[in-house]
Amino acid sequence: MRTLRRKLGYGLLGGAAGLLAMELVKRVTAPLVKRRAPEPAGEVLTARSSISMIGRHHGSDESATDALGRILYENLVGRAPSPATQRKLSWAVHIGYGLVAASLYGAIRGGRDRGGAGTVIGGALFGAGLWLLGDELVVPLLGLSEKPTSYPVTSHLQSLAQHLGFGVATAAATGALLDGHRPRR
């Protein structure tokens, strides 16, 4: 049990490094991303804009983390959050999800000695999997975003790059912590 807690903790610390890398990639790639055209005022989105079977749960300019933070807040407090509170909630959802995913990565990675290219490849696969399953599939299915084809390709590429940065940095930091804690033979 102590080993599992240590792996979860190292994954958590690795996730903090991954979140920093993700934010850096976002800032570097932001000028390259073409933004989606704003929706005309008063226009109702049709079913064609969504793949969700449970309905649309986000506002027109709301990210998935904005929407999820708002939904949780409204269910707990009974009213909509202020814009400042919603920004904080969005960050909390983003950071919380990233740290939970990274902790699980630390537990699953175990004590396998990959090092070098194995860490980079494993981290890239981890990040790409989070992007594909999370951003491209689960988030739209939950109605927290429009269907993937509603966004420009550059937006998807930026998100993929961010998730690759997150995965590689998480894997490298988690691996370094796990490898540094192994008993010497």
Indicate the pLDDT class of residue 19, thresholds 50, 70 and 90. very high
Predicted pLDDT at 49 = 66
**What is the DSSP-derived secondary structure letter of residue 61?**
T
Report, as an integer, the average pLDDT of 59-84: 94
Report, as an integer, the average pLDDT of 93-107: 96
Residue 80 corresponds to which tokens in the numbers above? 């909509």
Residue 132 corresponds to which tokens in the numbers above? 């594909």
Query: What would the DSSP string read from start to end of 136-166?
Result: IIIHHHTTSS--GGGS-HHHHHHHHHHHHHH
Q: What mean pLDDT, rounded, does the chain reach?
A: 88
Contact (CB, 8 A) for 18 and 165: yes
Q: What is the C-alpha separation between 183 and 181, in angstroms, rounded?
A: 6
Q: What is the C-alpha separation between 18 and 82, in angstroms, rounded?
A: 29
> 53 vs 5, which has greater pLDDT?
5
pTM of the model: 0.86
110, amino acid identity: G
Predicted pLDDT at 112 = 57
